[in-house]
């Protein structure tokens, strides 16, 4: 049994033992953790570093590419080139990038999540998913496996503390970087998502664009003690999914980024492969659930690296409740619900 406050490297060495595949996963996570320590130092420089929030391009789909997005991508790509990783699928590159031919795994990454918050001194992060390269698969195909095939996932939050929340499918654990020596140490073992927190996270400014089912669900939460839930709910929206997710792991609550009827948002905003899928594994390992409103995220086979997906996660009972609202709202012709492709029609 590993001691409390053991280092990330000790934890992973203990978990992997002499297993070759697990050792490769451990090496990959350690490489990313090292890159995240470097990135944390750059982020902490803030205005002393060169224009971290400068716009350097259009990432497509209405997303703006910032200098720090590009730097973060380079840092993780370089780190993973020295790990047993065949290919990297990143938000910041159109196609999968080959790193080490014949290596046993691939990594999907959002190098910098929450880039609208870079200059605001609000938490931002890095999200990752580790998948095996199965027999006969190309590395690009390996990146498009369903989330249930993941060997590990996690995210780093660069906030008041730098924290790594991670699973190698033996529970979800939090490692906090100790500032004195910049080493990640285990600080929360076997995180479980609280089931009784009356708090939700959603970008409420999109309300008029939401499907009827989501309007009704959030309306019922906002009705508080006067509504069907008979209790008051609090709302929090940071604008960095990593910060919302971290809060939910620490104290509970529900997260929603539904599809809506704005052009380009039919499938919501978040990306399936490197945002929803890794978070869904962490949530599942912490006893919660993640869906696109109806379907479990971990069961969805991606069609392409950058596809978007509506995302709901939190305690299973609340996630199920949202599915019931959607299923009940399914008969309304004016309601686009979550998907133009019609989740309820598939």
**Residues engaged in binding ligand AHG (CB under 6 A):** 63, 91, 110, 113-116, 203, 239-241, 269
Nearer to ligand AHG, 124 or 300 (CB): 124
Nearer to Mn ion, 273 or 319 (CB): 273
Nearer to ligand AHG, 64 or 223 (CB): 64
- Which of Mn ion, ligand AHG, none lies near 315, with the C-beta cut-off 5 to 8 A by kind? none
DSSP 8-state symbol, 293: S
- Which of Mn ion, ligand AHG, none lies near 240, with the C-beta cut-off 5 to 8 A by kind? ligand AHG
Residue 110 in the binding site for Mn ion (CB under 5 A): yes
The 3-state DSSP class for residue 50 equals: coil
Nearer to ligand AHG, 224 or 239 (CB): 239
Residue 113 in the binding site for Mn ion (CB under 5 A): yes
DSSP 8-state symbol, 148: G
- Which of Mn ion, ligand AHG, none lies near 269, with the C-beta cut-off 5 to 8 A by kind? ligand AHG
Q: Give me the least distance between CB of 67 and Mn ion, in Å please.
A: 13
Nearest CA-CA partner of 293 in 334, 339, 331: 339
Residue 91 in the binding site for Mn ion (CB under 5 A): yes
Q: Phi and psi at residue 131, in whole multiples of 5°?
A: -125, 150
What lies within 8 Å, CB to CB, of 318 at 6+ separation is 195, 254
Work out whether the CA dihedral 113, 119, 123, 126 comes out positive or negative.
Answer: positive
Cα separation, 228 vs 220, whole angstroms: 6
Of the listed pieces 105-113, 118-126, 209-217, 284-292, which binds Mn ion according to CB under 5 A? 105-113
Residue 71 in the binding site for Mn ion (CB under 5 A): no
Q: Give me the least distance between CB of 111 and Mn ion, in Å please.
A: 6
Q: Give me the least distance between CB of 278 and ligand AHG, in Å please.
A: 12
Q: Give me the least distance between CB of 77 and ligand AHG, in Å please.
A: 16
Q: Give me the least distance between CB of 89 and Mn ion, in Å please.
A: 13
The CB-nearest residue to Mn ion is 113
Provide Rg for the chain, Cα atoms. 20
The 3-state DSSP class for residue 13 equals: helix
Report the run of H or E that residue 59 belongs to, with start and end.
strand 55-60
Q: Give me the least distance between CB of 8 and ligand AHG, in Å please.
A: 24
In DSSP notation, 81-124 reads HTTTEEEEEETTSSS-EE-STT-SEEEEEEEEE-GGGGGGT--E
Nearer to ligand AHG, 227 or 239 (CB): 239
Work out whether the CA dihedral 67, 70, 74, 77 comes out positive or negative.
Answer: positive
- Which residues does residue 313 pair with via DSSP β-bridges, in sequence order? 255, 290
Binding interface with Mn ion (CB under 5 A): 91, 110, 112-113
């Amino acid at each position: 049994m590993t001691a409390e406050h053991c280092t990330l490297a000790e934890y992973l060495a203990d978990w992997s033992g002499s297993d070759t595949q697990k050792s490769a996963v451990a090496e990959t996570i350690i490489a990313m953790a090292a890159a995240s320590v470097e990135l944390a130092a750059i982020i902490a420089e803030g205005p002393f570093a060169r224009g971290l929030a400068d716009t350097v391009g259009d990432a497509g789909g209405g997303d703006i590419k910032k200098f720090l997005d590009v730097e973060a991508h380079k840092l993780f790509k370089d780190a993973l080139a020295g790990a047993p990783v065949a290919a990297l699928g990143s938000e910041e590159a159109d196609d999968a990038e080959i790193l080490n031919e014949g290596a046993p795994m691939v990594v999907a990454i959002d190098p910098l999540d929450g880039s609208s918050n870079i200059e605001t001194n609000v938490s931002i992060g890095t999200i990752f998913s580790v998948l095996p390269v199965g027999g006969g698969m190309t590395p690009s195909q390996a990146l498009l496996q369903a989330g249930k095939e993941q060997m590990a996932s996690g995210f780093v939050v660069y906030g008041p503390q730098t924290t790594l929340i991670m699973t190698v499918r033996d529970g979800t654990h939090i490692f906090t970087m100790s500032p004195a020596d910049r080493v990640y140490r285990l600080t929360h073992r076997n995180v479980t998502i609280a089931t009784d927190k009356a708090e939700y996270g959603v970008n409420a400014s999109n309300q008029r664009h939401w499907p009827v089912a989501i309007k009704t669900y959030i309306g019922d939460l906002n009705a508080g003690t006067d509504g069907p839930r008979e209790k008051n709910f609090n709302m929090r929206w940071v604008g960095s999914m990593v910060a919302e997710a971290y809060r939910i792991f620490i104290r509970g609550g529900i997260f929603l980024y539904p599809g809506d009827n704005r052009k380009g948002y039919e499938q919501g905003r978040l990306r399936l492969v490197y945002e929803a899928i890794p978070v869904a594994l962490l949530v599942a390992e912490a006893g919660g659930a993640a869906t696109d409103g109806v379907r479990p995220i971990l069961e969805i086979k991606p069609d392409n690296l950058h596809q978007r997906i509506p995302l709901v996660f939190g305690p299973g009972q609340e996630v199920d409740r949202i599915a019931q609202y959607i299923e009940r709202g399914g008969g309304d012709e004016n309601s686009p619900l979550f998907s133009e492709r019609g989740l309820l029609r598939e």
